[in-house]
Structure 1
Amino acid sequence: MVVPPAAPEQGRQQMALTALAPKRTNPAKRTGPAKGTGALRRRVADNLMAYAFMAAGLLCFAFFSWWPLIKGIVLSFQQDNFVIPPYFVGLENYRALFDDPLFWTAWKNTVVFTALALVFGFALPFVIAILLNEFRHLTGLFRVLVYLPVMLPPVVSVLLWRYFYDPGNGLFNTILGGLHLPPSQWTQGSSTAMISLVLVSTWANMGGATLMYLAALQGIPGELYEAAELDGASVWQRIRHVTIPQMRFIMLVLLLLQIIATMQVFIEPFLLTGTSSPDTVTVMVLIYRYAFTVNNDFGLAAAMSVLLFVVLGAFSALYLRLTRSAD
């Protein structure tokens, strides 16, 4: 017996019941938003941890750098000697600075020291780096010897040279006596005091600049020197037409950094000649003199610091401009 096929009416009834039945939710789709929420929470937690570490660093930087800077600017408009409560005096501290003859002497000595330090501390490391670059044996030993003064504490270096400059039994006067030459006053003489400070600063700091120059020299392609030699260029011509153009940027950056550093010289004149010598008083020494020795006027010292900050800020802005343009 053959079973007849379902009637069209029964098929339509089944389709209607299927349409009216409630739709079941897919479990996989139901867990999707939960997973997305968890990932979002993890990202927020990671970012909060990163922001927490960054906030801690910013707070330390603000407390130890920004707040003293702001406090110093405010103090420059106040009269304060830590005896009476500070009070505002407007631009009186700046007027007193410009009326002080020692203010102009300090700036003149600072500019002279910076110029002499650049002559020795900028050119001499470049020459030493070229010589070290030509060595093929014991290069590591020579680099350590050049960089060794940088590893010494600055006070130790200055005290060592203080013994060398001693007018009585110092090393330099002993050598002059052995050569039957008259002794020199070195740091006490008006004509030799500044150059004596420059020699100490150059010896103590030229190691870092020398290694930077040496690293830049080793980055110059050797093919350029080979082409120059084939053209018959001399040593000076190779330095002038190959080395210096290839190192122009690093030389300019180091020049600006040395200007910023040498204009803040303090340890050498403070330990070798003191704060009372007009031949070696610099801006930083005068700031110390205003605050702690003669005037005990922290407002006047703060005003001097603000002026130095403005000058160094201009050189720093130039440095950032050059490095940004190089990138």
Structure 2
Amino acid sequence: MVTTAPTAPAGGTANAGAVAPAPSAKARTRKVKDNLSGYGFLIGAIACFALFMWYPMIRGFVMSFQRTRRGETTWVGWDNYVRILDDPSFWVAWKNTFTFTCLALVVGFVVPFFVALLLNEFRHAKGYLRVLVYLPVMLPPASALYLFKYYAYDPSEAGLFNAILAFFNAPTSEWMQSPTMTIPAMVLASTWMNMGGAVLIYLASLQNIPGELYEAAELDGAGLWKRIWHVTIPQTRLILALLAMMQIVATMQLFIEPLILANGAGTQDSATSVAYLIYQHGFFQNDLNGAAALGVIMLGVLAVFSAFYLRLTTRNEQ
């Protein structure tokens, strides 16, 4: 019986099981160099984070359990925390900070969204209007706040806001000298100063919403507010949630507004914030350990809120 050798099928698959040639030495050298460059940039970034962010955080946490007097450091455990919690200014500062945060969410979070909705409807001068809205962000924060302090919030009728109130025969206000108006005035200045970035983010999100959704809503007889509620907000909910978290974290660290507008504490401690209290303990009372304890407490509060936010958003996505 004659046997014949199997023939290779068409298409050249006879060499399908052949081993691929090993990469050349030059290719291996190039790959190693590319990896080294990537790891070099990564190590540099990690070193910067470790030196300027992680080490100060760890050092502050350790200092909160210590007391330093005349160059001698001793371990005191929870004494700094007990001393801070017994300080009446601690609770006043948290009350002011939470009040500012809540008002900033009502004003500083809602206003940029509706400004973005308004700008999105314009057909002409879009670039000019966006620059106009973003312009306050380009100003140094200190310069913008000094403009408010000496031009807008002047307690006499020479101030911009009091001149407007006097024009309409409305009672004027002392603004930053009034304990009841201090926090609303800071919220107004902070909103004007920071809303440009949020407006541009909202505009980018609004322009990604398919027009067919609005057309379908109009065919169903939905008016303007119903289209916003049933189309715009659901389509931008992730951006809204992200910016809400960033807004809360930023406003909880309120510092520069009371420092410039209210000269720190304000009238009857009406502007004292937790961040300003940390600054006061560290640089005015020379109590770095108490300031570290305050910083750890603030870090803990923000960490709890961030964990709750992440859990809530993860559950909604599922």
Q: TM class by shorter-chain length?
A: 0.7 to 0.9
Query: Pick from 243, 266, 282: which aligns with 1:291?
Result: 282
- How far 1:43 moved relative to its partner? 3.1
- Find the counterpart in structure 1 of residue 256 from structure 2: 267
* TM-score, normalised via structure 2 length: 0.85
Letter aligned with residue 305 of structure 1: G
CA contact (8 A) 2:165 2:171 kept: yes
Query: What is the rounded CA distance, in whole Å, between the counterparts of 2:125 and 2:22 in structure 1?
Result: 66
Alignment of 1:1-327 (within 5 A): 36=24, 39-80=27-68, 83-163=70-150, 164-168=152-156, 169-277=158-266, 278-293=269-284, 295-318=285-308, 322=313
Identity of aligned residues (%): 53
Q: Deviations over 1:152-199 (max 9, x none)?
A: 111111001001112234222333444444432101101111100000
State whether residues 136 and 192 of structure 2, in contact with CA within 8 Å, keep that contact through their aligned partners in structure 1.
yes
TM-score if structure 1 supplies the norm length?
0.83
Kindly provide the amino acid, as one letter, of the partner of residue 290 in structure 1: H
Instruction: Choose 259-268 or 307-316, whichever is displaced more.
Output: 307-316
Q: Kindly provide the amino acid, as one letter, of the partner of residue 194 in structure 1.
A: I
Kindly state the Cα deviation for residue 79 of structure 1 after the two structures are TM-superposed: 1.4
Q: Does the CA contact (< 8 Å) of 1:72 and 1:306 recur in 2?
A: yes
| Rg comparison, structure with higher value | 1
The answer to whether the 8 A contact 2:255-2:276 is kept is yes
Please give the alpha-carbon distance, in whole angstroms, between the structure 2 residues aligned to 1:171 and 1:35. 73
Cα RMSD (Å): 2.4
Q: Aligned-pair distance for 1:38?
A: 5.5
Judging changes above 3 Å, is the alpha-carbon distance between structure 1 residues 143 and 287 closer, same or farther for their aligned structure 2 residues? Answer: same
CA distance in 2, matches of 1:178, 1:229: 42
- Listed as ranges, the gaps of 5+ residues in structure 1 are 1-31
How many residue pairs were aligned? 294
Q: What secondary structure sits across from 2:72 in the alignment?
A: coil
